[in-house]
Amino acid sequence: DTEVTQTPKHLVMGMTNKKSLKCEQHMGHRAMYWYKQKAKKPPELMFVYSYEKLSINESVPSRFSPECPNSSLLNLHLHALQPEDSALYLCASSRDTGNEQFFGPGTRLTVL
């Protein structure tokens, strides 16, 4: 298995909802990442997990809460989001933080 999977593919939520994005990889990678991407812009890093520990938080608002339950799974919990949070959310993984990163297909999030 050489891919990163993300669910759901699309998500529409209201500003008072609580939802979660899920990411999974079975490549034995020990680093996992969340990125946010607006249309026609490059991805922007949100969080880095290394060996299941949060190593980088790019000053992301607390309404985004990451979780790494084990070395294969990465979640992003969403609560009280704003319409401007609508974007493509990408998960990535790499063997270690110094190695090339492989991206999942993304979750298209719309906040109403």
Partner 1 sequence: GQQLNQSPQSMFIQEGEDVSMNCTSSSIFNTWLWYKQDPGEGPVLLIALYKAGELTSNGRLTAQFGITRKDSFLNISASIPSDVGIYFCAENAGGTSYGKLTFGQGTILTVHP
Interface residues with partner 1 (CB under 8 A)? Answer: 4, 6, 31, 33, 40-43, 45, 48, 50, 55-56, 58, 88, 90, 92, 94, 97-98, 100-106, 108
Nearest distance from residue 16's CB to partner 1, in Å? 27
For partner 1, the closer CB: 13 or 88? 88
Question: For the stretch 4-40, what's the b/e string if a residue is b when 16 or more beta carbons lie within 10 angstroms of its beta carbon?
Answer: bebeeeebebeeeeebebbbbbeeebbbbbbbbeeee
Question: In angstroms, rounded to a whole number, what is the distance separating the alpha carbons of residues 84 and 6?
Answer: 21
For partner 1, the closer CB: 37 or 75? 37
- Which of these, 101, 73, 97, 83, lies nearest to 14 by C-alpha position? 83
Question: In angstroms, rounded to a whole number, what is the distance separating the alpha carbons of residues 34 and 21?
Answer: 10
Nearest distance from residue 80's CB to partner 1, in Å? 26
For partner 1, the closer CB: 73 or 88? 88
For partner 1, the closer CB: 15 or 96? 96
Nearest distance from residue 73's CB to partner 1, in Å? 17
